Amino acid sequence: MTVIPELHPILETWLLEGPLSAQIPAYVNRLERGRYAAQSRQRCLSAVAHFAHWMSMCSMPARMIDEGCVEQFLRCHLPRCDCPRCAPRTPSDAHGAMVPMLEILRVEGVIARPPAPSGPIADELRRYDAHMLDACGLAAGTRRGRLRIVERLLKAKFATRPVVVSELRTDDIRQFIADQLDALGTTSNAISIAWALRAYLRYRASLGDAVQRLLAVIMSPAHWSMARLPRGLTPEEVDRLLSSFTPALPSSRRGYAVVRLALDLGLRGIEISRLQLADIDWREGTVTLKGTKPRRQELLPLPTITGQALEAYLRHERPKTSDTAVFVRRVAPHDQPVGVDAIRSIFREAFRRAGIPHGRGHALRHTLACRIINHGGSIKEVADVLRHRSLDTAMIYAKVDHGALSGVALPWPGSPA
């Protein structure tokens, strides 16, 4: 086994002679596969060594550790640690280092994987999740959000008892909604709660439960459709945004290509993060989207300027990797695609650098739609480009068609026109 040479001799002894010594080769191999920098590997191994020393002091074998032990180490040992000064004491480093170690222990069968939640409520949630996936085709994120809300309702009413929907009363629903809105009283949260509860009760209705009285008390907050104007960027703001990707940035070509995909093709952040090398047909000049929001495959034209941005990133900045995603991590662990949170962070930072306070990734989709409308395009074209399933979703962009609106506007009372 090769340990990082810069590791302190005391820490190296804790690794090689401690209760986790058998897992250290796999751990080092994992760090090497992720191409962690030498300093990062040293920090991870030092943290694991400190944890292994604590295990030895507690006479704790490897088969006994789990997330609770790690939490105890972070909360109880580190704040009052009197180990040698070479032992790291940063909780975030220790937690980050122990997460892969626990996974290695589980892969090797030393410790068991956390048991799946059990009990009547857990069983009910599993059945409902299967229904949302198989019958409704909902995405994993949507299902998780609804399950969290339904779980809170069921725990508030039934605790550990069997779930009997006929025992739910209208006052239970009202009180639950009031409690949830006391914790977070935003309009979006109120809408999410109403949708999740209605969907679950309709599912129970399909099983034969009488839930009409419960559905009747779930009121939606005031939220007028298309009340606001879509907030796109002006040409000057677009120029500032694109110009913000200077060579001084650590990954300017990647950020520029990401913004061009959203601005020129109207791609969502999740679609950009899932884009694969095989999805780009350079000869035909097309991009294929798979597993998009409407759950269908889409073939989009690839504008020349967008293709050039992608080419610059792929040729000159994309790390060497075996991963087939277009956009991959530039920091360890390597050989992994960037997540949607990283894509959203690119948008946020670009808007911040450009001094645009109302910036989000969706503003780039709005900008594309407004550009189509103001150049004579139709609402149907907007819906097609943005891949809206219904024309009603794209109807809000009729508000930015100033030319068409001026033709139907009535004269202001008292004006000469």
Per-residue pLDDT of the chain (417 residues; tens, 9 = 90+): 455 557 899 999 999 999 999 999 999 999 988 888 888 999 999 999 999 999 999 999 999 999 999 999 999 999 999 999 999 999 999 999 999 999 999 999 999 888 888 889 999 999 999 999 998 888 888 899 999 999 999 999 998 889 999 999 999 999 999 999 998 888 888 999 999 999 999 999 999 999 999 999 998 876 655 556 567 788 999 999 999 999 999 899 999 999 999 999 989 998 999 999 999 999 999 999 886 544 567 889 999 999 999 999 999 999 988 899 999 998 888 888 999 999 999 999 999 999 998 777 788 988 888 888 777 777 777 777 777 766 556 565 555 555 554 444 456 666 665
DSSP for 330-396, please give it: SSSS-SSBPPHHHHHHHHHHHHHHHT-TT--HHHHHHHHHHHHHHTT--HHHHHHHHT-SSHHHHGG
Q: Which fold has domain 235-403?
A: hpI Integrase; Chain A (1.10.443)
CB of 21 closer than 8 Å to CB of 15: yes
120-134 vs 187-206: helix crossing angle, rounded to 10? 90
The pLDDT, as a whole number, for residue 1 is: 47
Q: Which fold has domain 120-216?
A: DNA polymerase; domain 1 (1.10.150)
Give me the residue spans of the domains in the chain. 9-107, 120-216, 235-403
CA-based max dimension of the chain:
93
Distance from the first to the final alpha carbon of the chain: 87
The pLDDT, as a whole number, for residue 4 is: 58
The pLDDT, as a whole number, for residue 160 is: 82
- Position 14, amino acid: W
E strand segments, 192-335: 280-281, 286-289, 298-301
Which three-class secondary structure state does DSSP give residue 30? helix
Cα 141 to Cα 131, 133, 190, 270: the distances in Å are 15, 11, 18, 11
Query: Which tokens is 18 given?
Result: 């401690």
The pLDDT, as a whole number, for residue 295 is: 54
Contacts of 246 (CB under 8 A, 6+ apart): 252
